[in-house]
């Protein structure tokens, strides 16, 4: 009888070990799947960071272009204002009239 119980116990132990090995194999498969997904996410992350860097460089170039264009426009407007201040009085003959008002002419001497 003792040998029957021992055989049954050994069979239970063998079944338990087989179940454990099966579970370990399943866990290894799941871990491999998780690791491959994490690697895939890492690759996607690296690609997206690269795209962000390229977009950031392009944005910086655009900002630089807008700033340079703003300086050119401001300079052109300043030149236009200076030109208008210098030319408009001559064109409308304001300068002469202003000068006549500022410096009154001397009265003509009385002739005998």
User: Is there a domain that residue 92 lies in?
Assistant: yes
* Residue 97: per-residue pLDDT: 60
**How many CA atoms lie within 13 Å of 112's alpha carbon, on the beta-carbon side?**
0
Say if residue 100's pLDDT is above 80.
Answer: no
Q: What DSSP string describes 16-50?
A: HHHHHHHHHHHHHHHHHHHHHHHHHHHHHHHHHHH
* Residue 9: per-residue pLDDT: 87
Predicted TM-score (pTM) of the model is 0.43
User: Is there a domain that residue 96 lies in?
Assistant: yes
Range of the domain at 24: 2-102
In 3-state terms, what secondary structure has residue 78?
Answer: helix
Taking only the tens place, the pLDDT of each residue in 52-98 is 888 889 999 999 999 999 999 999 999 999 988 887 777 666 655 65
Taking only the tens place, the pLDDT of each residue in 24-41 is 999 999 999 988 888 888
User: Is there a domain that residue 109 lies in?
Assistant: no
* Residue 49: per-residue pLDDT: 86
User: Is there a domain that residue 112 lies in?
Assistant: no
* Residue 38: per-residue pLDDT: 86
Say if residue 1's pLDDT is above 50.
Answer: no
* Residue 17: per-residue pLDDT: 87
User: Is there a domain that residue 24 lies in?
Assistant: yes
User: Is there a domain that residue 77 lies in?
Assistant: yes
User: Is there a domain that residue 110 lies in?
Assistant: no
User: Is there a domain that residue 93 lies in?
Assistant: yes
**Domain count along the chain:** 1
Token pair 């009385």 in the structure block, residue: 110
């Amino acid at each position: 009888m003792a040998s029957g119980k021992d055989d049954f116990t050994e069979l239970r132990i063998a079944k338990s070990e087989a179940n454990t090995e099966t579970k370990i194999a399943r866990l290894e498969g799941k871990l491999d799947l998780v690791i491959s997904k994490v690697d895939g996410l890492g690759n996607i992350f690296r690609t997206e960071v690269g795209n962000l860097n390229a977009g950031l460089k392009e944005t910086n170039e655009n900002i630089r272009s807008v700033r340079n264009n703003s300086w050119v426009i401001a300079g052109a407007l300043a030149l236009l204002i200076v030109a208008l201040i210098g030319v408009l009085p001559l064109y409308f003959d304001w300068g002469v009239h202003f000068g006549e008002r500022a410096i009154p002419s001397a009265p003509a001497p009385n002739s005998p």
